[in-house]
Structure 1
Amino acid sequence: MTQKYFYLFLFLWICFISYAQDNKTKTDSAAIGYKKIENYSKKNKFTKFVHKLIFKSTDVKPTHPDKVESIAKKHVIYENKIIRKITIKTLDPFGYSEIDTTKKPKRFSEKAGNAVHMKSRNFAIRNVLLLKQNQPYDSLLILETARLVRSQRFVRRVDITAELAGKNADSVDVTVVVLDSWSLIPNANITPNKATYELTERNFLGSGHLWDNQYQHDLNDKRRAFSTRYVVPNIKNTYIQTDLNYQIDLENNYSKSIRVERKFFSPFTRWAGGAFVENRLRKDSLPSSSFQYSLQTFKYNTIDLWAGHSFRIKSDEFNDRKNTNLVTTLRYYKVNYLKDIASEFDAVDFFSSESFWLTGIGLSSRKFVQDEYVFNFAIAEDIPIGKYYGITGGVQNKNFENRLYFGIKATLGNYFKWGYFSTNYEYGSFFKDKKNQQTAFVLQINYFTPLIELGKWKVRQFFKSDVILGSHRLESVGDRISINESNGINGFNDPKFLGTRKMLFSFQSQSYSPWQWAGFRFSPFLNYSLAFLADSKRDFSISSGYSKLGFGVIITNDYLVFNSFQISFAYYPRIPNQGENIFKSNTYKTSDFGYLDFEINKPKTVLYE
Structure 2
Amino acid sequence: MHPTHPFIKLLPHCLLVSVLLLLAQVCHAQDPVKLKPDTTAIQQDTVKQKFDERLMDNLRRMSERKTIMGKLLDAILVFDRKDQEVYGLDAELIQREYEKHNYKIVRRLDIVTLDAFGYSINDSTRVPRNFFEKAGNTLHVKTSRGLVRNQLLFRRNQPLEPLSLVESERLLRQTDYILDARIVVNELTTTDDSVDVFVITKDVFSLGGSGSYSPSSGRGKISLRELNFLGRGHQVRGTYRFNMDRPRPWEASGAYSIESIGRTYVGADLVYTNENYYKEKSAYLQRDFFSTTTKYAGAVGYADIEEKLLLPPVPEDTIPRFGDLKYNRTDVWLGRSFKFKSYHLGYEPRGRLIVGLRMIDTDYSQIPTDNFQNNILMLASVGYSVRKYYKDRYLFGFGRTEDIPAGTLVSFTTGYEKGDVMERRYFAASTSYARYRTETGYFYGSATWGSFLRDDRWEQGVLELETLYFTPLKEWGNWKLRHYVQGRATFGINRNPEELLAINNESGLRGFRSDLLRGSRRVTLNYEANLYTPLSLLGFRLAAVAFTDIAWLSTGNKSSPFKNTPYRGYGIGVRFRNEYLSFSTIQLLISYYPKMHPNEDFDNFRILESSRPYYDFTDFRFTRPGVANFR
Fold shared, TM-score > 0.5 on shorter chain: yes
Answer with 189-198 or 203-212: which moved more: 189-198
Structure 2 residue identity aligned to 1:224 = W
Indicate which of 254, 277, 293 corresponds to 1:228. 254
Compared CA separation, residues 219 and 419, structure 1 to 2 (3 A) = closer
Alignment equivalent of 2:356, drawn from 305, 329, 333: 329
In structure 1, the partner of 2:238 is 213
> Equivalent residue for 2:442?
420
Contact 2:162-2:348 at 8 Å conserved across structures: no
Distance 1:151-1:364 versus aligned 2 partners, 3 A rule: same
Q: Does the C-alpha gap of structure 1 residues 74 and 539 become closer, same or farther in structure 2, counting only changes over 3 Å?
A: closer
SS at match of 1:149: helix
Normalised by the length of structure 2, the TM-score is 0.80
User: Are the counterparts in 2 of residues 248 and 254 from structure 1 also a CA contact under 8 Å?
Assistant: yes
Q: Separation in 2 of the partners of 1:557 and 1:316?
A: 47
Q: Distance in 1 between matches of 2:171 and 2:148?
A: 10
1:404 aligns with 2:425: yes
Task: Give me the whole-angstrom Cα distance separating, in 1, the residues matched to 2:576 and 2:354.
Answer: 40
Contact kept in structure 1, 2:90 and 2:392, CA below 8 Å: no
Structure 1 Cα separation of the partners of residues 273 and 619 of structure 2: 30
Partners of 1:214 and 1:580 lie apart in 2 by 26
Do the aligned partners of residues 588 and 95 (structure 1) sit closer, same or farther apart at CA in structure 2, a change above 3 Å counting?
closer
Cα–Cα, structure 1 residues 593 and 76, in superposed 2: closer, same or farther, change >3 Å?
Answer: same
1:84–1:482 Cα change, 3 Å: same
Structure 2 residue matching 1:575: 3-state secondary structure: coil
From 319, 332, 335, the equivalent of 1:308 is 335
1:259 to 254, 275, 284: 284
Aligned-residue offset at 1:437? 1.5
Q: Say which of 168, 183, 188 aligns to 1:160.
A: 183
Alpha-carbon separation, structure 2, partners of 1:153 and 1:294: 39
1:261-320 Cα deviation digits (max 9, x unpaired) = 001111111100001211122234546999887653222101111110000126698999
Deviation of 1:169 (Å):
7.0
Deviations 1:29-55 (A, max 9, x none): xxxxxxxxxxxxxxxxxxxxxxxxxxx
For residues 269 and 110 of structure 1, what CA distance do their matches in structure 2 show? 39
Instruction: Report if the CA contact (8 A) 2:528-2:548 is conserved.
Output: yes
Answer yes or no: is the 8 Å Cα contact 1:127–1:235 preserved in 2: no
The equivalent of 1:272 in structure 2 is 297
Corresponding residue to 2:451 among 408, 429, 433? 429
Residue in structure 1 matching 2:195, options 172, 175, 200: 172
Name the CA distance, whole Å, in 1 between partners of 2:365 and 2:427: 29
Matched residue of 1:497: which SS? coil
C-alpha displacement at 1:101, in angstroms? 3.2
Please name the residue that 2:66 is paired with.
none
d(CA) in 2 for partners of 1:395, 1:331: 11
1:596 aligned residue: 618
Q: Could you tell me which residue of structure 2 aligns to residue 502 of structure 1?
A: 522
Identity %: 30
5 Å matches for 1:442-591?
442-474=464-496, 476-477=497-498, 479-536=499-556, 539-576=560-597, 577-579=599-601, 582-586=604-608, 590-591=612-613
> Counterpart in 2 of 1:12?
none
* Stretch moving more, 305-314 or 315-324: 315-324
Q: Tell me the amino acid that sits aligned with residue 374 of structure 1.
A: L
Q: Give me the whole-angstrom Cα distance separating, in 2, the residues matched to 1:69 and 1:279.
A: 44
Q: Once the 2 structures are TM-superposed, how far is the Cα of residue 391 of structure 1 from its aligned partner?
A: 0.4
SS in 1 for 2:175: coil
Shift of 1:467: 0.5
Matches within 5 A, 1:376-391: 376-391=397-412
Whether contact under 8 Å (2:89, 2:391) holds in the other structure is: no
Contact 2:244 2:250 (8 Å CA) reproduced: no
Measured after TM superposition, the shift of residue 180 of structure 1 is: 0.7
CA distance in 1, matches of 2:89, 2:139: 39
Counterpart secondary structure, 1:104: coil
Q: Aligned residue for 1:185?
A: 208
CA distance change for structure 1 residues 411 and 319 in 2, over 3 Å: closer, same or farther? farther
- Residue in 2 aligned with 1:3? none
Compare 236-245 and 589-598 and name the one that shifted more. 589-598
> Alignment RMSD, CA only?
2.8
Q: Tell me, in whole angstroms, the C-alpha distance in 2 between the residues paired with 1:509 and 1:162.
A: 39
| CA distance in 1: counterparts of 2:518 and 2:313, whole angstroms | 16
- For 1:575 and 1:182, locate their aligned partners in 2 and report how far apart those are by CA, in whole Å: 41
Amino acid at match of 2:256: Y
TM normalised by structure 1 equals: 0.82
Equivalent residue pairs, number: 538
Tell me if the contact between 1:555 and 1:564 (Cα under 8 Å) persists in the aligned partners: yes
What is the deviation of 1:556? 1.4
Structure number, greater radius of gyration:
2
Q: Which amino acid aligns with 1:101?
A: S
**Structure 2 counterpart of 1:59:** none
Provide the rounded CA distance (Å) in 2 between the counterparts of 1:167 and 1:374: 36
Q: Provide the residue aligned with 1:146 in structure 2.
A: 169
Kindly indicate whether the alpha-carbon contact (under 8 Å) linking 2:552 and 2:562 is maintained by their aligned counterparts in 1.
no
Q: 1:102 offset after TM fit, Å?
A: 4.1
Identify unmatched segments of 5+ residues in structure 2.
1-85
Deviation at 1:595, TM superposition (A): 1.5
Q: Could you say if the C-alpha distance between residues 110 and 340 of structure 1 is closer, same or farther in structure 2, counting changes exceeding 3 Å?
A: closer
**Per-residue deviation, residues 99-156 of structure 1 (Å, max 9, x unmatched):** 3334321222211111111111112211211111111123511000000000111111
Report if aligned partners of 1:490, 1:587 keep a CA contact under 8 Å in 2. no
Output the amino acid matched with 1:80.
Y
Note closer, same or farther for the CA distance 1:305–1:489 as it changes in structure 2 (3 Å cut).
same
Task: Look up the match of 2:628.
Answer: 606
- 1: CA distance between counterparts of 2:304 and 2:123? 50
Summarize the Cα distance change of 1:303–1:71 in structure 2 as closer, same or farther, 3 Å threshold.
closer
Alignment pair present for 1:394 and 2:415: yes
Using the alignment, how far apart are the partners of 1:64 and 1:91 within structure 2?
Answer: 19
Alignment check: 8 A CA contact 2:410 2:430 kept: yes
Kindly provide the amino acid, as one letter, of the partner of residue 563 in structure 1: S
